[in-house]
Amino acid sequence: MAADDTDRTPNPWELVLRAQRIALRAQTTSLAWASGRDFSIVDAKSVSEAFLKAGQELAERPMAIATAQQEAWTGATRAWLGAFAGESKPTKDRRFRDRRWDEDPVSRGMRDAYLAIEDAVDGLVATLPKGSKEALRVEFYTRQFLSALSPANFLMLNPAARDRFVETEGRSLLDGFENLLDDLEAGDGRLDISTNDRAAFEVGRDLATTPGKVIYQNELMQLIQYEPRTETQRATPILFVPAWINKYYILDMRPKNSLVRYMLDRGHSVFVISWINPTKTHADMSFQDYMHRGPLAALDVMAKVTGERRANVLGFCIGGILVTCTLAYLAAKGDDRIAAATTLATMVDFADVGEVGVFVDRDRLKALAEHMEGTGYLENHHLQDMFSMIRENDLVWSFHVMNYLMGRRPPAFDLLYWNSDSTRLPAQMLLWYLEKVYIENGLRRPGYLSLDGTPIDIGKIKTPCFILATKEDHIAPWRSVYPATQLFGGEVHFVLGGSGHIAGVVNPPAEKPKYGYWTREDHPADPNEWLAGASATEGSWWPLWADWLESKDTAERVPARKPGGGKLKPIEDAPGSYVLIRG
């Protein structure tokens, strides 16, 4: 639950001294960025060029500008007059869900005028030509600007923040200033906005608590084998391959939403890769190193401890891309050790990557390469900032209001805690991935990518595959996941889950289901056509997936397997030490 912090009494003078100390520390970071010595996900040059091109386009159509101006003026005026006449324009915008926006005519007028202007600007931007990086940047950064100007973000315009300021006799402002200083200190001078209670969880105590052992490790990963939860288990073990952008425990959060525990309860032998948080010593680790030292190494160990030559594999996000590449690599080698594969929120077609494309192009790649020559890796906060900007109202401005205007601390939320526990990325792997997979869309080009000198072709994948996309995914848009149904060479079972990249995946069975999913037996080439004919089902996709996976395993069950199987001595208890290395 959210802490109200009523027992805190910030000393204004102490806060001022803290602010001075933080400002001195922040000067180095600010000067490095301003001089170009530090990397930024925002390329000011490309943004300014995009807006210049948009301005030239609009200059040739002055009536479009005049129409937008007229709509903004008319809409704002009508909003003000209507507010004081008792009229209210209904809105589902979550920024204005507090009832006081409707009760106070001034606040209501500010809100409705802002929304009218926002609609007019959006309408103007919508008239610009589509389909280019410049158009995407103009649309994206226009939205960032408008979101920043929301009256909800200003103390004297936000009725809830204003009332709290009065009720607390100004202490909420001091509390907010203290929260701001805490976030600046957490980012070492860079604003690291708290999205959760940083002290609420501890990995191994509250999260990643399913009992297991680390049975193997190398320079890139630890392999965890979990204690059985049934007397017998299915013969074919399963390996979870998480993304190495965040920590593995998204698959083992708390008992109620742990996919690991769910599969153990269904009688599976579960293994999970826990990636290391890279340092400069990992700078030369390549994508193929992640394949050899990750899933391939894990499969060798699993075969040794279980006695089973074949295994099932699940990959999440970039872990799913690694699984896809591994399947194609094994297909090229004639190796069928993977019995069935599952990918979650995993793109195979990068022609349309959504708003992430705003940040990825060859100019940024060059700047990134120059930056990582010195560091050997990309710092974790850059990706955090990028994903936060894509959902700026949910992950930036809502917490700006809560933390700084209201003077409250964010509540404890396991998914957001995990989201903030991100990792660094090694230089060689990241540059190859961004260039060959992201920019050049090499995954869907037969023979274009090579791993360990072997050209790969995902069309050669004959392994049965279960593919989950999520409908509101802003990181892996579902229409860029769906082409796997056309590109893979074997059986594909495609499911579209509700919600987004994380919540849509971590969607356990529950009495009151949050999100549902869509299914359809055939796979037409057009994803929109597929959705139009798909059937919706309430509840979690987990049972559907487990049923599909278990239908592939007809072997007799085996006695429950203990970690290591008597063939490897466990190294340490789960969750292991790699996952505890902070970014």
Catalytically active residues are 317
Alpha-carbon span 545 to 551, nearest angstrom: 10
Alpha-carbon span 379 to 419, nearest angstrom: 15
- Asked if 187 and 194 count as a contact pair (C-beta separation under 8 A), the reply is no
Q: Which residues pair with 273 in a beta bridge?
A: 223
Residue the block writes with tokens 């030369």: 284
CA 52 to chain CA centroid, Å, is 31
Residue the block writes with tokens 């990028």: 386
Total Cβ atoms within 10 A of residue 69: 12
Secondary element (H or E) of residue 314: strand 311-316
Q: Which residues pair with 517 in a beta bridge?
A: 497, 537
Alpha-carbon span 292 to 354, nearest angstrom: 30
DSSP 494: E
For residue 156, give both structure tokens.
Answer: 């004297």
- Asked if 420 and 384 count as a contact pair (C-beta separation under 8 A), the reply is yes
Total Cβ atoms within 10 A of residue 108: 24
Alpha-carbon span 119 to 251, nearest angstrom: 40
- Asked if 362 and 409 count as a contact pair (C-beta separation under 8 A), the reply is no
In the structure, how many helices (H) and strands (E) does the chain have?
22, 17
For residue 245, give both structure tokens.
Answer: 């952008």
Give strand ranges (E) for 205-286. Answer: 212-217, 221-226, 232-233, 238-241, 270-275
Q: Which residues pair with 497 in a beta bridge?
A: 470, 517
- Asked if 468 and 304 count as a contact pair (C-beta separation under 8 A), the reply is no
Alpha-carbon span 91 to 94, nearest angstrom: 8
